[in-house]
Structure 1
C-alpha cells in the first residue's frame, strides 16, 4: 500500500529542497574553478531546474569521470534531440547511406582512450549514448538561462576583418570561396590547452560548414572541433564540441546536446567531454580528425571522428540553406576578446604561439579536404586565409605530400605588439 503525503506539506518540502540545492551549489562553487557563488532566487532556481530536467534525460547508468564530469548513459531514442518540434516525424537514421568515397566506417571508437571519462574503464551499455550531465552551476555561469549553451552572433567575413570588430570575436582561419557548392569538409586538428584570461572568454579550433547570408538573420552553420570554455564547462580542459544554428546564432541551435537538434548515434563518444592526452610544447603532439558531410540520399549532415567512427548527425529538417548544400567552409581558431582592464585579452589561440614557430610549437590543421557534388572527398588547393590582427594571432598555410593542404595558426593575444 502506498504512502499518502498531505498536500499541506508541499510548500515546506519545496522550501527544504531549494535550501538543499543552494547548500549544494555553494559547496560545488568552492571546489570548481571559474565558479563564484552568489545568491540565487528560488524562482530562478526553479526555472533552471525545469530546463535541466528537459535536457538531462533519465539514464540507465551514470559514470563519474576522473575530471568530475558525470556521464549519463541514455537510451538512444530518449535523447533530447527528438524533442525538437521540427523532428516530430523524424525517423532516426542508424547510419549514413553513403560515406564519401575513400572512407571506411567503424561503428564505435573502442580501442582508444582519448576522453577523460574513458579512463575508468566503464562504458555505456549497448543501445545507449553517453551524455555529459549539465548541472545548476553550469547554467549560473552563463549570462542568462536563454544564453546557456549558445554562441554570440558573429560578424561577416568583411566586417570581422576589422581588428576592432565590435562583438569581440577574433579569428585566424582558412576558408573556401563563397560561391562554391560544398557537401562537407574534413581536417585533422592539433589539440592544445590554451590559457583563458577571464571566465566568459573562450578559445576554440573548429570546422565551420556555412550557407546563407553573413549580414542577415538566415546564416546556417554546422560546427565541430575542440574548445576551452570556462563559462560553459567550469574548467580549462580542451573538449570535443559541436554547434549548429539556422538563424545567425540568434535563437536556434546550441553547443553539444544542450538543446534539441543533433542526433547522437555513437555509444562511446561523449560530446562536451574532455580530450586526453593533449599536445605539449616541443614534445608529443596529438590531434583529432573530424569529417562532416551531407548524406547524398537522406540529406542529414553526418559527423565522423578519427578513422570513420560515426558520431551522429544534424537532421536536414533543422536547416533552410543547409537543407540543400553549403556555400563556404572555414577551418581555424576563434577567441573572444572582452578587453578586460582596457587591454587586448591574453587568452591564447591554439598553442599560444604564432604560426612561424612551426611544428611542436604552433598549432596546426592538416589534410584539409572538402566533399564535392559527387560525394567525393578531395584535397583543397585554393584556400584564402584571414587573421584580424596578426600582432595578436596569425596564420600561415602551405602544402606537402604528407599533410596535403595545411596551416599553422594561433598566438598569445596580449603582448607588446598587441596592447
Structure 2
C-alpha cells in the first residue's frame, strides 16, 4: 500500500513539474506594454473557438502564389523577424479588456468602402466595382506620422460586397493608432466584417486563422527606415477552399503567407467580391481636427516626395492576375481642402511605376 501511495505521489510530482516546465517554456514576446504575443499551438488558437469554425480544418498554405513585379517592390518592411515561434505554434496576441474596448471603439469608426457614411472620416484612393473579383495586391509606401491618441491614419487594400443591409469586407495594410496599439509606431493590421455584421480588428475576436510562425496580422514595422520603403501585400481567395488569404510579398525572398479569414465567416463573399480597392483614410478627433494622411503632405509632381501606391493587380473571377490598367478605376477623394489624389504612371503592370499618389496634412477645416 505504501508503495502504491509513493508511486502515485511520484507521478503527481512529475506531472506538476512537467506542467510548470510547459508553462515556463511557452515563448512570449512583449512588443510594448499593451501588445504581448504568446506562441500557441496552431490547433488551439482562439479563432477556432468561433461558432462557425467548430468543424474547421486548418489550411496550412494556399494553393496559389502572387506574380511579383520585382522591379518595383524593392522597398521591404516586414522582413526583419521580431518574433519566431517554435514549430507547431503561432504568435497569438493576449487580448486585454483595454485592448478589446479600444478595438471595438475604433471598429465602429473605421472607414467602410461599401457605405457613404463617413462621419469624421476622410479618404483618398481608387476602387473597381464589378462582379466576381477574387482579390488584389498592391505596393504601398510606408510612413511615420505624428498622430494624437484620439486620431487614426491608415492605408489599406480591401475587398468587399454589399446589399441593402448586409456588408462583408476585408482590409489589410498599415496604420498609426496610438490608442489601439499603445504607441505611435506604424503597425500592420487587418480588419473584417462578416455575417450578421460581426467582425473586428486583427485577432481581438475569433475569426482570423494565423498560420505563419513569424509574421502576425498586426506587428510594428522596423524603424528607422532608409530610402524607399513600403509593403507589398495581397488579399486573395483560395481557389480550392474559398478562404481569403493575406500574404506579404517579398523582393528576392520567399513570400510569407500570414494566414486567412475562413469563408465560413461571411455570407456575401464566400464565393467572390464586387469591389476591390486601395485607399488612404483618417479618423478625426472629437474636436474635429483631422490627422495627416499618407506621408503628411499633399502629392506633388515629384512622386518621390509623395505617398504612393503602385503595382496594383486585380485577381479575376477565373483566378488570373490582371494589371490595374485593364480596369476602369474610380477615384475617391472626399476632402480636397486637406488631402489630395493624383494619377501616377500607368504602364503595363509588370513595369508600372506609380498608380497614384495621395495624402495631406489634415487640419481643422477638413469638414465632417
Number of the residue aligned with 2:194 = 246
Number of the residue aligned with 2:16 = none
Number of the residue aligned with 1:255 = 201
In 2 relative to 1, CA 153–58 (structure 1 residues): closer, same or farther, beyond 3 Å? farther
2:124 pairs with one of 156, 172, 176: 172
1:67-114 residue CA offsets vs partner (Å, 9 max, x unmatched): 8742211111111110100000111111123335x469xxxxxxx883
Number of the residue aligned with 1:109 = none
TM-score (structure 1 length as normaliser): 0.72
Number of the residue aligned with 1:94 = 60
Alignment of 1:19-418 (within 5 A): 60-65=26-31, 69-99=35-65, 102=67, 114=78, 118=81, 123-139=84-100, 142=102, 147=104, 150-152=107-109, 154=111, 159=116, 165=118, 167-177=119-129, 179-197=130-148, 199-213=149-163, 216-246=164-194, 251-277=197-223, 284-307=227-250, 308-338=255-285, 340=287, 343-345=288-290, 347-356=291-300, 358-381=302-325, 382-398=328-344, 399-400=346-347, 402-403=351-352, 406-414=355-363
Displacement of 1:301 after TM fit? 0.8
Higher relative contact order (CA 8 A, sep 6+): 2
1:302-355 residue CA offsets vs partner (Å, 9 max, x unmatched): 111023321111101011110120111110111012351xx542x111100112
Displacement of 1:158 after TM fit? 7.3
Displacement of 1:389 after TM fit? 0.8
CA contact (8 A) 1:97 1:296 kept: yes
- Of 61-70 and 88-97, more deviation after overlay is shown by 61-70
Displacement of 1:368 after TM fit? 0.6
The secondary structure found in structure 2 opposite 1:91 is coil
CA contact (8 A) 2:27 2:39 kept: yes
Between Structure 1 and Structure 2, the one with more strand by share is 2
Q: CA RMSD in A?
A: 3.0
Displacement of 1:418 after TM fit? 7.7
Question: C-alpha distance in 2, partners of 1:317/1:133?
Answer: 24
Unaligned runs of 5+ in 2: 1-8, 10-22, 70-75
Runs of 4+ with >6 A deviation:
155-158, 415-419
Question: C-alpha distance in 1, partners of 2:155/2:25?
Answer: 31
CA contact (8 A) 1:238 1:275 kept: yes
The secondary structure found in structure 1 opposite 2:109 is coil
In 2 relative to 1, CA 257–159 (structure 1 residues): closer, same or farther, beyond 3 Å? closer
In 2 relative to 1, CA 256–400 (structure 1 residues): closer, same or farther, beyond 3 Å? same
Displacement of 1:154 after TM fit? 4.9
